[in-house]
Structures are given as C-alpha cells and as structure tokens.
Amino acid sequence: MGEKKLLKGCEAIGEAAIQAGAKAFFGYPITPQSEVPEYLSKRLPEVGGVFLQAESEVAASNMLYGAAGAGVRIFTTTSSPGYSLMQEAVSYMAGSELPCVIVNIVRGGPGLGGILPGQGDYKQATRGGGHGDYRTPVLAPSTVQEAADLMIDAFDIADKYRNPVLVLGDGLIGQMMEPVEFKQRSTQVVEKPWATTGAKGRPPNIVNSLYLDAPTLERHNIKLKAKYDAIEKDERRWEEYGNTGKLDILLVAYGTVARVCKTAVDEMTKQGIRVGLFRPISLYPFPDAELRSAARQAKAILDIELSTGQMIDDVKAAVEGRVPVHYYGRVGGIVCTPEEVAFHAGRVIKGEQVYTIGEYAGLVTALTA
Amino acid sequence: MELVFKNTTGLVSVPRHYCPGCTHGVIHRMVAEVIEELGVRESAVGISPVGCSVIAYNYFNCDMQQAAHGRAPALATGIKRVRPDLTVFTYQGDGDLASIGTAETVQAANRGEKVTVIFVNNAIYGMTGGQMAPTTMPGQVTTTSPAGRDVNHCGYPIRVVELLATLRTPAYLVRVSAHDEVHLVQAKQAIRKAFRYQLEGRCFSFVEVLSICPTNWGLSPAEASQWLANTMIPYYPLGEIKTPDDGPVTEAHHAQ
C-alpha cells in the first residue's frame, strides 16, 4: 500500500494517470480543471513523460489520436465546452478503435454557462457525444480517492476494449482536497500489435475509420456493437448505500450529488425513514438490472441531478415502470444540500406534490429575498 | 539486361484512384522514393488527410494514420512527441491544410514540430467536386464561385508558405511545382531536404507542391500544366522561402 497524500482532486487525477503508466498529456487550459495541466507540466517531465499545451481542445484531442495510434497510454482533461470541441476526435478514435482516457470536469451550461459544478453533460457523455454510432465507457467518481482509483481503471478499460474512456467529474471533485492513497497495482501491460510504430519486419499498420464500401462499414459497425455489448455485460459499476430491501424511498444519484445524498440518507435513517441510495459509478454502461433489483421493494424513486433531468431517462428505463420515478435537481452551478434532498424525499414519501425545478427555485428565491 | 527502372519500395503496388492527369500520383512517388532512399521506410508514419488523398494510407508502404479534416499536423505532433525516433510526415491538400486546418498548421509550425508536411496545392477542392478553396485564384471559376473568385467577397488566395515564414521559430519552408519534368526534379530535391531536416532533428519542414486538377479545372492535362505555369506560379513564387538560421542539412549524413 502507498502512503496517504493530501491532494486536490485535479492533482490526484493527474498523478493517478502517471501511476497508471500514462506517458503523455496533451491539453488546453479551461476552468475548473486547469490545475491538471499545471500539475502535469511540472510532474510529467520528472518521470520522463511528455507534457504539451495544445492550441485548442480540437488539436489536443487529435494529438491524443496520433499518440494513441502510436501505441502509448495518453490522456487529457477538459471541461464541458472543451469536451464539446473534442467530439470530432473522440468519434474518430472510437471509429479507429484507439484507447485513451479523457476527463471532463463538468461545469454549468449550455454555451459558456458557468464554472461551477454541473451534471448537464450526462447525455453527451453516455450516448457517444459526437457523430456516428459509438459509445464510450463513462466512470463517475464521487470522492477524490475514487477519482484516483477510477483513473487507473480507465486506462485498463481503454486498452482492453481499444476505446476512449471518459471520466466524468465536476468542479467539486476537481477542487476539493482529500487524503489519497495510490494503491500499488499491477497495471496491465497490453501488447498493441496494431499500433503505428514503424513497419519493421511486418506489413504496414493502418489506423483508420474510413470504410467507403457499405457492407464493409456495416461489418465494422457490427464489430463495434459487439464490443459495446461486452462492455455493457462486464463493466457495470455501482454502489448501494444505506438501507436495502423494503424502502420508503430509494434515492438515485451519481458523483458529487451522491455524496450529498449519503448525508441525507444518514439523517433520514435516524428519523426512522427506510431510505437507500443507489449510486451508478459507470454511467455507461448504466447498471440498469442492478437498479431494478435495488428498487424491487421500494415504494418510490427520487432521481437527483445537477441538471434538469438527464439520467432520469435511464432510471425510468431501468425500472420499467414498476416504481414511480420522481425528479429533484439544482442547476446553474448550485449544489443541492442534504436538507433539500431530505425535504423533497419527505414530500414524495407523504404523497405530496413534488415541486418542479422552477417552482422550487422560485420558492427558495422568495424565502431568501 | 540492365535494370533501368523499378517500383519504389515506398509505395504499395496497387491501382490508384486518382483522375487521369492528376499530379497526386507523381507526388506520392517522389515522397515514397525519398522515404526509400533515406532508409526510413521502417520508421516512417504517414498521415493521410481528408480530400482526394484520403486513401493515401493504402498507397504508402509504411505505417499510416488517417486524420480528421485538417488535423493531420495535430496527429503528427502526437506521434512525434511520444515517439521522436519515428519519421513522421503528413500529406495534405489545400482545403484540408489551408482552410479547416489552418490553426493546426500554424501552431505545429510555430512549436517547431520535427515533422514533415507535404502540402499539395491545386487551387480547388477536388474530392467534393470542385468547390472554391482558400488557394483558388482570383477570377477562377469553381462550383461555389460560378462567376469566378471575387476577392472583394472572399479575399485573396492564401500563400501558406509566406504566412508561416513570418513565424520566428526556425523552419524549412519551400514551394515547388509538379507541372513539368524540370520542376519535378526540383520538387524531389526539396522533399528530400525536408525529410533530412526532420531526421537531423532540426526543424519543422514544409513543402508546398503546386499541383494540377484537370478534372475540376475543366482542362486537359497539358492545358492544366500551362495554366499552372501562367497563373499560379506568378502568384505563388517557387523556391526556398525560409531555411533554419543554423545552416543547411548535411547531404552526406543520410545519403545511401
């Protein structure tokens, strides 16, 4: 076991990538993740790695394409508007089957939005994001320690499936300082016989996503689908917290919000409420069967997000209409409190009208005016 | 019998898809011969663009990557930075390099990436069917400038080599032409020099090759060559526009 260090989330993410054997970082500054390139600009040269500040997220992500194609472990970090610019390269990397890790420290949107935490990029992250029919595994940490652990796992998943892997955080995860321990892991050394490393003693390797012949492209798409099927079968991650079995209410939340919900679960449990939390850790693949199972004896579900409701579609699909699914969330960079969660959960339990996001925000504004 | 001509090992022996009279084929061959002559075929990684030469990955007999439109210099940067031992080149057209990929081109040059860019300028978008390029000549008729390029509407053609020459970072920047045999000899010498600058770890190297597109210009190959000589060369002057301050490449070092 390694020693415990007090690190900012952004630093822990950068260091974890180095521990995972990442050889290079190509990135572009954007709040709230600029601490990652700042940290790596010092740290990567110390360990013989490559740090390069690109001219844009478009270029950074295409540098990843080149370096991933040359067979090395590479990654970048960005925030929402930057990840939108990377969609071109992510789509090409998915099509060319190149492994890499991208961290999106999500902020509020749309457009330039704000720099405070948000979860509005859920659908962009879990549905592929760019053009074409592809998926990227998405891992969502809720603590700095988990961010470090998932970063290391992300590289293994990327290499295993030859696919980009996304780590989805938010400004709180990135900026928070927590003790982190880098576990000694035997990170897999994966042979990459497909990489463009020079055609010495073998036929040339080609890294490419162009298939002009329709039947050939269809075969390629079917091959990718088989890969996504394997990912959906083997890479599901989730956590159940608090009470299980017969529940007055089951909370569903990920990332920072799940952390808030844990406090709410503890407080509500003390008040005798049978409440549990289901936390998807992999957002794609979404742990739908596991959620369905956790919700089997729940009277209701409250889905809580820092968006106007994106994951809720996956939650509803998972429970197949067997349990009523309610929504509560805050947006614009406002993070809900445990008290708010408990308040809304209480209304659901009592069968009272659940406020819409607009009604509730108006209520808060009126009360604090 | 004396062998007077043979295929270069730098190219795969397959039929190519280029139009009759197109100069891509001969430019491919010059690049491939240089790769063979310098003995770098087994360490070379080429990057094909989006455009007529997108399928160049099937033609060059070395490792290849295919890039999103305009991003080849970013891919080249990614490869060369993590594997400086590889010989990295991009092969791009004018729409790819001078329009959608302007940022990647200028920034790779400004960082002094130790890669070689082959820039084929035929003053038009070929693959998409003859639309106006940033390099289209004033008055030149294309499918998106049916009355001829109006410089008051969309400006003058971009001289990429001269644009890059304004950067302080050392570079080898040269413009050559593929329209006749004499110019092809000069073009191959420039391509060879560009690769040698990379092999010596000296600087970013960039070869603009003026090229003809008989199909989309609506001319015969002979007329197209004449049009290039009469119209393009006066606007796009040939020669070494910039060389690194610290002297020329050492010819002997990498010769076979």
Tell me the pairing of strands B204-210 and B171-177.
parallel
CB of B167 within 8 Å of any CB in chain A? no
At residue A365 the predicted structure's pLDDT band, cuts being 50, 70 and 90, is confident
DSSP β-bridge partners for residue A164: A100
**Strand, coil or helix: what is A204?**
coil
Establish if B61 touches chain A: CB-CB under 8 angstroms: yes
Cβ–Cβ contact B75 with A under 8 A:
yes
pLDDT at A272: 97
Helices A255-270, A338-349: axis angle to 10 degrees equals: 60
Residue closest to A109 by CA, chosen among A275, A310, A277: A310
Q: Which pLDDT does position A187 carry in this prediction? A: 63
The CA distances from residue B144 to B29, B97, B134, B135, in Å, are 32, 19, 12, 13
Lowest mean pLDDT among A89-93, A167-171, B35-39: A167-171
Same domain, yes or no: A55 and A122: yes
Tell me if A67 and B44 make a contact (CB, 8 A cut-off). no
Q: Is the dihedral of CA B138, B139, B144, B150 positive or negative?
A: positive
Confidence of residue A361 (pLDDT cuts 50, 70, 90): confident
Distance from the Cα of B106 to chain A's closest Cα (Å) equals 10
Q: How far off is chain A from B140, nearest CA to CA, in Å?
A: 31
Cβ–Cβ below 8 Å for B62 and A207: no
Q: Are B201 and B244 in contact (CB under 8 A)?
A: no
CB contact under 8 A, B45 and A54: no
Final residue before a domain boundary, out of A234, A260, A294 = A234
The residue ranges of DSSP E strands in chain A, in sequence order, are 4-8, 24-27, 50-53, 74-78, 100-106, 138-139, 164-170, 177-181, 206-207, 238-242, 249-252, 275-280, 282-284, 301-305, 325-329
Bridge partners of A301, per DSSP, are A250, A325
Given CB atoms, is A308 within the 8 Å cutoff of chain B? no
Given a contact cutoff of 8 angstroms between Cβ atoms, the answer to whether B133 and B149 are in contact is: no
Do the beta carbons of residue B46 and residue B90 sit within 8 Å?
yes
pLDDT given for residue A82 in this prediction: 98
Average pLDDT, chain A: 95
Chain A interface disruption, residue of B52, B58, B69, B71, most A CBs within 10 A = B71
- A219 with A270, same domain: the answer is no
| A71 and A198 inside one domain | yes
CB contact under 8 A, A196 and B57: no
Query: What residues of chain A, 69 to 98, have a C-beta less than 8 Å from chain B?
Result: 69-70, 72, 74, 88-89, 92, 96
What ranges make up the beta strands (E) of chain B? 44-48, 63-66, 87-93, 116-121, 171-177, 204-210, 239-242
CATH of the domain at A107: 3.40.50.970
Q: How far is CA A174 from CA A112, A118, A293, in A?
A: 19, 12, 32
Q: What 3-state DSSP class applies to A273?
A: coil
Longest alpha-carbon distance in chain B: 61
Predicted confidence pLDDT, tens digits, chain B (256 residues)? 889 988 999 999 999 999 999 999 999 999 999 999 999 999 999 999 999 999 999 999 999 999 999 999 999 999 999 999 999 999 999 999 999 999 999 999 999 999 999 999 999 999 999 999 999 999 999 999 999 999 999 999 999 999 999 999 999 999 999 999 999 999 999 999 999 999 999 999 999 999 999 999 999 999 999 999 999 999 999 999 999 988 888 764 444 3
What amino acid occupies position B160? Answer: V
Query: Do A72 and B82 make contact, defined as CB atoms within 8 angstroms?
Result: yes
Residues A230 and A171 in one domain: yes
Residue A184 has pLDDT above 80, yes or no: no
Task: Assess whether A208 and A67 both reside in one domain.
Answer: yes
Q: A29 and A129 share a domain?
A: yes
| pLDDT at residue A357 in the model | 87
Same domain? For A44 and A140 the reply is yes
CA A308 – CA A312 distance, rounded (Å): 9
What pLDDT shows up at residue B76? 98
pLDDT digits (tens, 9 = 90+) for A42-72: 999 999 999 999 999 999 999 999 999 999 9
- Of the partner residues A88, A198, A201, the one whose CB lies closest to the CB of residue B86: A198
Please indicate if any CB of chain B lies within 8 Å of the CB of A196: yes
pLDDT value, residue B250: 73
Chain A residue with minimal CA distance to B65?
A: A207
Question: How many angstroms separate the CA of residue A144 from the nearest CA in chain B?
Answer: 29
How close A51 comes to chain B (CA, Å)? 9
Q: What angle do CA B178, B182, B186 make, to 5 degrees?
A: 70
pLDDT of residue B253: 47
Judgement on whether residues A179 and A74 belong to the same structural domain of the protein: yes
Using CB atoms within 10 A of its CB, is residue A368 exposed (0-12), middle (13-18) or buried (19+)? exposed
Q: Decide if B64 and A207 are in contact by the 8 Å CB cutoff.
A: yes
Question: Are the CB atoms for B146 and B180 separated by under 8 Å?
Answer: no
Q: Which residues of chain A lie closer than 8 angstroms to B67, CB-CB?
A: 62, 65, 92
Judge whether B127 is closer than 8 Å to chain A, CB to CB: no
The reported pLDDT for the residue numbered A8 is 95
Picking from A216, A234, A252, the residue at the C-terminal end of a domain is A234
Domain count, chain A: 2
Identify the pLDDT of residue A188.
66
Q: Given A212, A234, A256, which residue is the final one in a domain?
A: A234
Closest alpha carbon to B62 in B84, B78, B38, B81: B38
Size of interface A-B (CB pairs under 8 A): 133
The alpha helices in A282-356, defined as continuous H runs, are: 288-294, 312-319, 338-349
Q: Is the pLDDT of residue A1 over 90?
A: no
Domains and CATH numbers, chain B: 24-242 (3.40.50.970)
Instruction: Give the β-pairing of A301-305 and A282-284.
Output: unpaired
Per-residue confidence (pLDDT) for residue B66, from 0 to 100 = 98
A113 plus A229 within the same structural domain: yes
Find chain A residues with C-beta within 8 A of B61's C-beta: 199, 204
- This prediction has a pTM of 0.96
| Cα A289 from Cα A280, distance rounded (Å) | 11
Residue A186 has pLDDT above 70, yes or no: no
Q: Which residue range(s) make up the domain with A179?
A: 4-234
Measured over the CA atoms of residue A53, residue A57, residue A58 and residue A63, the dihedral's sign is positive
Query: For B63, which of A26, A60, A196 is closest by C-beta distance?
Result: A196
pLDDT at position B256: 39
Cβ neighbours for B61, distance < 8 A, ≥ 6 positions apart? A199, A204, B9, B10, B11, B12, B32, B41
Q: In angstroms, how far is CA B12 from the centroid of its own chain?
A: 19
| pLDDT value, residue B255 | 41
Please judge whether B62 and A204 are an interchain contact, meaning their C-beta atoms are less than 8 angstroms apart: yes
Query: Across the interface, do B45 and A24 touch by the CB < 8 Å criterion?
Result: no
Does A201 share its domain with A273? Answer: no
**Domain check: are A60 and A121 in the same one?**
yes
Question: Would the pLDDT of A157 be above 60?
Answer: yes
* Cα dihedral value A335, A338, A339, A343, nearest 10: 90
Do the beta carbons of residue B122 and residue B24 sit within 8 Å? Answer: no
Average pLDDT over residues A85-100: 98
pLDDT for the residue numbered A356: 87
Structural contact between residues B92 and B56, judged by C-beta atoms closer than 8 angstroms: no
In terms of Cα–Cα distance, which of A347, A349, A350, A351 is closest to A363? A347
Instruction: Say yes or no: A48 contacts chain B, CB-CB below 8 A.
Output: no
Distance CA(B211)–CA(B214), nearest Å, equals 10
Q: Which residues of A touch B43 (CB under 8 A)?
A: 198, 200
Measured between alpha carbons, how far is B253 from B233 in angstroms, rounded to an integer? Answer: 33
Same domain, A246 and A349: yes
* Cα–Cα distance measured from residue B51 to residue B125, given in angstroms and rounded to the nearest whole number: 8
ipTM value of the model?
Answer: 0.96
For A240, A255, A286, A303, B213, the CA distances from A344, given in Å and listed in that order, are 20, 19, 25, 11, 68
